[in-house]
């Protein structure tokens, strides 16, 4: 089987989308690691939904002495304090989210449709149980929605579909998908293949994608 | 000046009757959870409770081990991850109390939350198990909507229109309305009989400050509960908190209990 | 003409209504002066709508050195800082008001009806222009509404009426009236005369009041 | 890091076009009013503005004298009260700038406010005069409802149900609805193109703290304006404000201007 990009490389590619000064919510999953790949010439301000703006890097093994249970991000990992950070309550945190004040969110997905519909909160088609968390709030309010995911399920079923069969998290919200095979933009005209992983052809990616991909004029191999 | 300070957690929760609605915080990790009040309520034993909180499925890593051993068996790899040295086991290996103990103890009839599961995929939470057994009624609400509904309860509003959840299964049973070209769902306020709050310091008037990411739902809960009980690390005299930095004004806090030195925080 | 109570005495009588630990919004007008008559054995916490809880006494002439333009109450007077006070924004301030977290408000009135309807924001029956301010919020949300006012207008027209002719501020909200002639409670059965000013008879007060007053069992001369 | 600091008030308001919606605070006294931004906008001259603010009728005591002299004549006793020594004249005798200067200058077509008059009974405000002349469209809103509508604008809500104003003339033109036995009116969110904010300190990221009773509407305005401009006494480096005490997170602030030392604050 051909090599696909690992989650770290997906996170690196996602990080390239952040602009200087952007306020970004990473949720958890692959996207959360994008925080580690911000180039030094850019300031990106991270938001965590329980009420932090501007937290510092995620602590790594060996930094136990810095760990503070009052300074963890939404994914439950310890983060470092950073000059200029601030705290607020959970309602004010979602004033930022719902009110359109954040620039980018990076989410995982179970399915994404041709129209940018996102399904990522329940594997039960009827949506009983399931964990919504902040998944429905983020894509409604945040300006740019990036999905970071594996292109297909572990048992090789297609995730990028014409119409989602799993319960939707939010219709018509996804702007960009970064997968282990490709970078795909959601446009009014359809899905545009912008970049492909090294060693993969557009035809091979199309075969693992249900809707017809439009090839970008500047289609190229993914650069990091 | 009214005395708001209670000597023990037992006394602070003694009058909570069966059938009460309790609001309490839990999110990822132990920060911000009123663990001592939860334990006291478990001991007190009130039944038929309705719990309202962000992640009512949450249990600690150690809690997961214990819970799984007593129910559906082993969790692959969890024991190793907890026992491993380092940062990850520092989080996962903590043994802390979450609202789940009230669910396991059969005290809860209804849960309103944004997250019913544990934080580890494949590990069923006491809440999920109770829901499947038909023992608990569950209402799942998007996280920001839950926070806003609690705020609306405290603010005396009749409801609000939110764009979150439109054209998803969440909208079933909710009124959808187009306002100036955009669709919204009508959301109703949430209030509680008792609110459990975890703060850093209280002054004798009940003014509260918090620490970092542990603030979260706590200040909202304080506004929406008829009786708010706060557990804190320190109780100080009025004037010792910076008036510009008070987060919860004392008007919202009815009872204060100091956490014993050396207790799990 | 017989002597009526002056505004200071009205304020003193209003202050007797405050219980230990009460949170009170005084607005401006006669009620504002009630803050000066709290007995030392009671703690009353004052709320000002632009976002202060627990401010200290109102500064008086000679205290110019203490005056701070960042510490004025809603009526625009300088107040002293007090240990335990705190600040918040205007929306959070009305969370307290509308959400039922304050115990008492003292308001002025143009008219009060037999049912406790309050009219105090506009002299124009059609309610064009006029200054609502916080007048409509307070009586809706605050547990106990006390009206402090002169019993009749300066040109001797009746203010306590069967039905208000001026635009309402809030229907069925007034609990108690303290006037320069009487203390009157609004009950489901009607207006109950509880106390009368020294030198005034219940009959004389009735003559200046449109609805029939019920005499309280413990009707007495006003004590301060 | 994006530079948010503007050197002058003129530059900070230069791009405000005719027809803009401007949110700005004014309440009793000069505290919390973005006086320098108001003056700069008067100079800049943008017209057909909509102003949203708490007390748009407000003018200072000295302002009242000047305004009355140029219009409806003398105010009995005001001059004496201003000239008298003591505390009262300290308040009334202040000459400070309020949004009224924009109204007097003919730049405003609509005002949304809770208070259209001055603070002195019998003294007509520039706003009241302009409304009577038919020059300005006025919308009067209860104060707490106004604050909540601005918050709703910043929060991305479609509206909310408030119990305030039910069964009064205020309810005309508003939807009344009974929710769980109580009547409420539907209130819509308010947003602005530009928000003028007066704060105490800003850091370079735009985080703001305020002082005492001058906080008021300012933090709400910051959330509801597409472009928020803050005038502050001091600008400091990130990290110099206590993260637990920041009131307005920097994400809500686009431009910062420092008030000159010695200028009216």
- Report D:242-261 residues touching A (Cβ under 8 A): 243-244, 246, 249-252
Domain with D79 in it: 9-258
- Per-residue pLDDT band for D61 (boundaries 50, 70, 90) equals confident
CA–CA min distance A49, chain D (Å): 14
CA–CA min distance C211, chain D (Å): 22
Domain assignment present for residue B2? The answer is no
Contact criterion met (CB below 8 Å) for B57 and B125: yes
Domain assignment present for residue D263? The answer is no
Q: Residue D204 is encoded by which pair of tokens?
A: 């370079």
What does each C-alpha distance from B101 to B36, B59, C36, D76 come to in angstroms?
A: 12, 9, 51, 71
Q: b/e per residue, D236-252, with b = 16+ CB within 10 A?
A: eebbebebbbbbbbbbb
Tell me the sheet residues that pair with C179.
Answer: C149
Q: D32: nearest CA in chain C?
A: C70
Residue D167 CA neighbour count, 13 Å, CB half: 13
Tell me the sheet residues that pair with A148.
Answer: A178
Contacts of residue D6, defined as CB under 8 A and 6 or more positions apart, other chains included, come to: D12, D229, D255, D256, D257
CATH code for the domain in which residue D187 is found: 3.40.1080.10
Q: b/e per residue, B158-169, with b = 16+ CB within 10 A?
A: bbbbbbbbbebb
| Mean of all residue pLDDT scores within chain C | 93
Q: b/e per residue, A88-115, with b = 16+ CB within 10 A?
A: bbbbbbbbbbbbbbbbbbbbbbbbbbbb
Contact B157 D162 (CB under 8 A): yes
Q: Write down the pLDDT at residue C128.
A: 61
What three-state secondary structure class fits C12?
A: helix
Question: What's the helix, strand, coil split of chain C in %, to 5?
Answer: 20, 25, 55
For residues D175 and D261, give the distance between their C-alpha atoms in angstroms, rounded to a whole number.
50
The gap between the terminal CA atoms of chain B, to the nearest Å, is: 29
Domain assignment present for residue C2? The answer is no
- The total domain count for chain C is 1
Q: Residue B164 is encoded by which pair of tokens?
A: 């979150």
For residues D109 and B254, give the distance between their C-alpha atoms in angstroms, rounded to a whole number.
48
- Per-residue pLDDT band for C127 (boundaries 50, 70, 90) equals low
CATH code for the domain in which residue A176 is found: 3.40.1080.10
Tell me the sheet residues that pair with B195.
Answer: B23, B228
Q: B222: nearest CA in chain C?
A: C101
Residues of B in contact with C24 (CB under 8 A): none
Q: Write down the pLDDT at residue B156.
A: 98
What string of H, E and C letters represents the secondary structure of A118-152?
A: EECCCCCCCCCCCCCCCCCHHHHHCCEEEEEECCE
- Per-residue pLDDT band for A39 (boundaries 50, 70, 90) equals confident
Domain assignment present for residue D29? The answer is yes
- The total domain count for chain B is 1
Could you report the per-residue pLDDT of C38-49, keeping only the tens digit for each? 888 899 999 999
Q: Is the pLDDT of residue D265 over 50?
A: no
Percentage above 90 pLDDT, chain A = 76
Contact A171 B168 (CB under 8 A): yes
For residues D117 and D26, give the distance between their C-alpha atoms in angstroms, rounded to a whole number.
12
Could you report the per-residue pLDDT of D186-202, keeping only the tens digit for each? 999 999 999 999 999 99
User: Would you please indicate which residues of C are annotated as catalytic (active-site) residues?
Assistant: 49
| Residue A25: count of CB within 10 angstroms of its CB | 26
Q: b/e per residue, D58-95, with b = 16+ CB within 10 A?
A: bbbbebbbebbeeeeeebeebeebbeeeebbbbbbbbe
Q: Of the candidates A83, A88, A94, which has its C-beta nearest D239's C-beta?
A: A83
Q: What average pLDDT score do residues C84-104 get?
A: 98
Q: What average pLDDT score do residues D112-122 get?
A: 86
Look-up: residue for tokens 């009839």? B109
Q: Write down the pLDDT at residue B265.
A: 42
Q: Write down the pLDDT at residue C129.
A: 61
Domain assignment present for residue B246? The answer is yes
For residues B121 and A161, give the distance between their C-alpha atoms in angstroms, rounded to a whole number.
24
For residues B63 and B61, give the distance between their C-alpha atoms in angstroms, rounded to a whole number.
5
Q: Write down the pLDDT at residue C187.
A: 98
Q: Is the pLDDT of residue C175 over 80?
A: yes
Contact C131 D116 (CB under 8 A): yes
Residue D189 sits at the vertex; the CA angle it makes with D183 and D191, to the nearest 5 degrees, is 160
Contact criterion met (CB below 8 Å) for B140 and A132: yes
pLDDT means per 10 residues, chain B with 265 residues, are: 94 98 92 96 98 94 75 69 70 84 96 90 86 92 98 98 96 96 98 98 98 97 98 98 98 97 52
CA D31 to the chain's CA centroid: 11
Q: A41: nearest CA in chain D?
A: D1
Domain with C76 in it: 7-221
Q: What average pLDDT score do residues C52-72 get?
A: 90
Q: Is B7 on the interface with C (CB under 8 A)?
A: no
Among the listed ranges D54-58, D60-64, D85-89, which one has the minimum average pLDDT value?
D85-89
Contacts of residue A162, defined as CB under 8 A and 6 or more positions apart, other chains included, come to: A113, A114, A210, A211
Among the listed ranges A103-112, C156-165, D128-137, which one has the minimum average pLDDT value?
D128-137
Residues of C in contact with B154 (CB under 8 A): 95, 99, 101
Domain assignment present for residue B99? The answer is yes
| Mean of all residue pLDDT scores within chain D | 92
- DSSP 8-state assignment for residue A212: P
Q: Write down the pLDDT at residue D88.
A: 67
Q: Please, what's the largest Cα pairwise distance for chain D?
A: 56
Which residue, D192, D181, D182, is CA-closest to D225? D192
Domain assignment present for residue B264? The answer is no
Q: Is the pLDDT of residue A108 over 80?
A: yes
Contacts of residue A170, defined as CB under 8 A and 6 or more positions apart, other chains included, come to: A117, A118, A136, A139, A140, B168
Structure pTM? 0.96
Q: B145: nearest CA in chain A?
A: A137
Q: Is the pLDDT of residue D43 over 90?
A: yes
Pairing relationship of beta strands A118-119 and A111-113 according to DSSP bridges: antiparallel
Chain B and chain C share a number of CB contacts under 8 A equal to 65
**Which ipTM score applies to this complex?**
0.96
Which residue, C207, C139, C132, C218, is CA-closest to C177? C139
Report, in angstroms and rounded to the nearest whole number, the Rg of chain D calculated over CA atoms.
19
Contact C131 D115 (CB under 8 A): yes
For residues D55 and D146, give the distance between their C-alpha atoms in angstroms, rounded to a whole number.
11
User: Which element (helix H / strand E) includes A176?
Assistant: strand A176-179
Domain assignment present for residue D3? The answer is no
Q: Is the pLDDT of residue C115 over 90?
A: yes
Q: b/e per residue, B202-230, with b = 16+ CB within 10 A?
A: bbbbbbbbbbbbbbbbbbbbbbbbebbbb
With an 8 Å CB cutoff and a minimum of 3 pairs, decide whether chains C and B touch: yes
- Per-residue pLDDT band for C117 (boundaries 50, 70, 90) equals very high
Contact B249 C102 (CB under 8 A): no
Q: Is the pLDDT of residue C1 over 90?
A: no
Residue to substitute from D164, D172, D183, D218, interface C, most C β-carbons within 10 A: D164
Secondary structure (DSSP) of D34-101:
-HHHHHHHHHH---SEEEE-S-TT---HHHHHHHHHTTT---TTHHHHHHSSSHHHHHHT-----THH
Q: What average pLDDT score do residues A133-161 get?
A: 95
For residues A152 and A154, give the distance between their C-alpha atoms in angstroms, rounded to a whole number.
7
| Residue B36: count of CB within 10 angstroms of its CB | 24
Domain assignment present for residue D138? The answer is yes
Q: Write down the pLDDT at residue B264.
A: 46
Q: Is the pLDDT of residue D264 over 70?
A: no
| Mean of all residue pLDDT scores within chain A | 93
Domain assignment present for residue A1? The answer is no
Residues of C in contact with B240 (CB under 8 A): 83
Q: Write down the pLDDT at residue D74.
A: 66
Q: Write down the pLDDT at residue C33.
A: 81
User: Would you please indicate which residues of A are annotated as catalytic (active-site) residues?
Assistant: 49
Q: Write down the pLDDT at residue D67.
A: 74
């Amino acid at each position: 089987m051909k090599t696909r990009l690992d989650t770290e490389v997906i996170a690196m590619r996602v990080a390239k989308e952040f602009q200087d000064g952007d306020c970004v919510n990473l949720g958890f999953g692959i996207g959360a690691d994008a925080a580690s790949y911000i180039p030094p010439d850019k300031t990106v301000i991270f938001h965590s939904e329980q009420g932090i703006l501007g937290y510092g890097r995620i602590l790594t093994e060996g930094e136990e002495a810095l760990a503070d249970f009052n300074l963890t991000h939404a994914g439950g990992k310890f983060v470092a304090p950073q000059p200029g950070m601030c705290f607020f309550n959970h309602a004010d945190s979602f004033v930022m989210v719902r009110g359109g004040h954040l620039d980018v969110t990076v989410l995982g997905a179970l399915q994404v449709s041709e129209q940018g519909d996102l399904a990522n909160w329940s594997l039960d088609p009827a949506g009983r149980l399931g964990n919504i968390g902040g998944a429905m709030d983020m894509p409604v309010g945040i300006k740019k929605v990036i999905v970071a995911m594996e292109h297909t399920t572990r048992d090789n079923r297609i995730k990028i579909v014409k119409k989602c069969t799993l319960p939707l998290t939010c219709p018509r919200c996804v702007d960009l998908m970064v997968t282990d095979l490709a970078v795909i933009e959601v446009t009014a005209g359809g899905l545009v293949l912008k970049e492909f992983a090294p060693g993969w052809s557009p035809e091979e990616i199309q075969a693992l994608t249900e809707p017809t991909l439009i090839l970008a004029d500047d289609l190229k191999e993914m650069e990091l | 000046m009214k005395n708001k300070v209670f000597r023990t957690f037992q006394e602070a929760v003694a009058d909570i009757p069966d059938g009460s609605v309790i609001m309490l915080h839990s999110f990822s990790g132990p920060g911000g959870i009123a663990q001592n009040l939860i334990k006291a309520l478990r001991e007190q034993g009130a039944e038929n409770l309705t719990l309202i909180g962000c992640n009512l499925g949450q249990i600690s890593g150690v809690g997961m081990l214990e819970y799984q051993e007593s129910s559906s068996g082993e969790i692959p790899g969890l024991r190793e991850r907890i026992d491993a040295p380092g940062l990850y086991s520092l989080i996962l290996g903590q043994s802390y109390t979450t609202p789940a103990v009230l669910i396991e103890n059969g005290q809860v009839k209804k849960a309103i939350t944004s997250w019913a599961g544990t934080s580890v995929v494949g590990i069923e939470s006491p809440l999920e198990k109770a829901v499947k057994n038909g023992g608990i009624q569950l209402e799942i609400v998007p996280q920001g909507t839950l926070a806003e509904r609690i705020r609306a309860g405290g603010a005396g509003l009749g409801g609000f229109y939110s764009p979150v959840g439109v054209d998803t299964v969440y909208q079933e049973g909710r009124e959808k309305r187009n306002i100036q070209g955009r669709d919204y769902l009508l959301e109703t306020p949430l209030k509680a009989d008792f609110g459990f709050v975890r703060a850093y310091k209280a002054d004798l008037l009940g003014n509260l400050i918090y620490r970092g990411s542990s603030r979260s739902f706590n200040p909202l809960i304080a506004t929406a509960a008829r009786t708010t009980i706060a557990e804190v690390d320190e109780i100080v005299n009025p004037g010792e908190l910076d008036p510009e930095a008070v987060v919860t004004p004392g008007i919202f806090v009815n009872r204060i209990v100091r956490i014993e030195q050396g207790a799990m925080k």
